[in-house]
């Protein structure tokens, strides 16, 4: 659906994006994570046309501009309106017909949990209220693509859960969602795809299960592990890691597990403990940004 090819963007001497490539399939919830300054907001701002790239291309020709909804990192609102007045004003300005306006405002308020406080003025509104209003504003036109810059920022745990539910519902209703966040727990709960950015380019990207590879591992703890046995096991092709008297293997690879166990049986080595360990997104993320993972070919 969206094809981002070799995008670069500099701000003076800072290379915010550096030959970045990303394809966002229709119907996905695509998460962007990465350290502060990695270039996430710049990429999102490029997609909505708030900044222009220095090089590269973005193909969103399948969409007309009205079909993109955007929640900025730091939403700002005029304070003198009530929530519903503001959404009605926004709808009018963006060309929603009088016939549809009332219904679309109501639906946006219902979806974002703002209906009961729609009469409230925005002045002095809590961070959570304003963040939900920013989402209500982004979804007013029922966009085909939603671009959300840190939608969970500043929300309490209940509001975060509500935000996750809204995003899943919007996605079920047909919206493709691209979101940046620092909240890894939310990523694992809502995203179908994930890209890890660092210093303006992508280190990992793809389906969630591809980005968090071998997500379950098996740890075999042995009574001892002689060097010659370790050498035999090392010779077996596969992702085998050693830590003292422990061997760490991907759980899903039955052939590999059987081959390792066969060597242990032949050598008469006792397995004193067997445990399963789930590799978290946090571990993958830390390994990726600290250079522990090989960068993807772009």
Angle at 70 (CA atoms; ends 17, 172), nearest 5 degrees: 110
Q: Which CB, 40 or 132, lies closer to ligand ATP?
A: 40
Strands of the 176-180 sheet, one edge to the other: 68-71, 145-149, 176-180, 29-33, 193-198, 201-207
Angle between helices 127-139 and 83-93 (to 10 degrees): 30
- d(CA 283, CA 298) in angstroms, rounded, equals 23
Q: Which CB, 28 or 41, lies closer to ligand ATP?
A: 41
Q: How far is the CB of 219 from ligand ATP (least distance, A)?
A: 34
Q: Which CB, 40 or 193, lies closer to ligand ATP?
A: 40
Helix, strand, or coil here: 246?
Answer: strand
User: Which residues contact ligand ATP by CB under 6 A?
Assistant: 11, 14, 16, 34, 36-42
Q: How far is the CB of 160 from ligand ATP (least distance, A)?
A: 17
Q: How far is the CB of 34 from ligand ATP (least distance, A)?
A: 5
Q: How far is the CB of 216 from ligand ATP (least distance, A)?
A: 30
- d(CA 104, CA 112) in angstroms, rounded, equals 12
Token couple for 286: 């830390």
Q: How far is the CB of 288 from ligand ATP (least distance, A)?
A: 14
Token couple for 267: 């050598």
Distances (CA, A) of 39 to 198, 240, 245, 293: 8, 34, 42, 19
Q: Which CB, 34 or 69, lies closer to ligand ATP?
A: 34
Q: Which CB, 17 or 114, lies closer to ligand ATP?
A: 17
Q: How far is the CB of 152 from ligand ATP (least distance, A)?
A: 13
Q: Which CB, 41 or 215, lies closer to ligand ATP?
A: 41
- Residue 129 phi/psi, 5-degree rounding, is -65, -45
Q: Are the beta carbons of 164 and 186 closer than 8 angstroms?
A: yes
Q: How far is the CB of 150 from ligand ATP (least distance, A)?
A: 7
Token couple for 56: 């590269």
Q: Which CB, 14 or 226, lies closer to ligand ATP?
A: 14
What is the DSSP code string of 166-215? HHHHHHHTT-EEEEE-S-HHHHHHH-SEEEEEETTEEEEEEEHHHHSTT-
């Amino acid at each position: 659906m969206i094809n981002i090819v070799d995008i670069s963007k500099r701000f003076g001497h800072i290379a915010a994006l550096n030959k970045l490539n990303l394809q966002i399939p229709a119907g996905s919830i695509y998460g962007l994570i990465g350290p502060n300054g990695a270039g996430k907001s710049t990429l999102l701002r490029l997609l909505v046309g708030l900044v222009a790239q220095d090089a590269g291309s973005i193909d969103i020709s399948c969409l007309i501009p009205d079909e993109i909804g955007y929640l900025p990192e730091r939403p700002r609102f005029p304070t003198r309106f009530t929530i519903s007045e503001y959404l009605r004003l926004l709808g009018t300005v963006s060309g929603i017909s009088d016939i549809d306006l009332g219904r679309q405002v109501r639906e946006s308020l219902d979806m974002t949990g703002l209906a009961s406080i729609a009469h409230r003025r925005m002045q002095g509104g809590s961070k959570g209220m304003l963040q939900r209003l920013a989402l209500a504003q982004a979804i007013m036109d029922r966009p085909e693509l939603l671009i959300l810059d840190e939608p969970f920022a500043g929300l309490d745990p209940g509001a975060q859960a509500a935000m996750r539910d809204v995003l899943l519902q919007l996605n079920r209703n047909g919206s493709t969602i691209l979101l940046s966040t620092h909240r890894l727990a939310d990523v694992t709960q809502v995203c179908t795809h994930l890209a890890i950015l660092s210093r303006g380019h992508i280190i990992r990207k793809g389906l969630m299960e591809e980005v968090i590879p071998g997500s379950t591992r098996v740890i075999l703890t042995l009574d001892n592990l002689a060097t010659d046995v370790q050498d035999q096991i090392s010779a077996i092709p596969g992702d085998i890691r050693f830590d003292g008297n422990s061997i760490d293997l991907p759980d899903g690879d039955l052939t590999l597990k059987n081959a390792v166990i066969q060597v242990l049986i032949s050598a008469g080595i006792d397995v004193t403990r067997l445990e399963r360990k789930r590799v978290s997104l946090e571990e993958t993320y830390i390994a990726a940004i600290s250079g522990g993972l090989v960068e993807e070919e772009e």
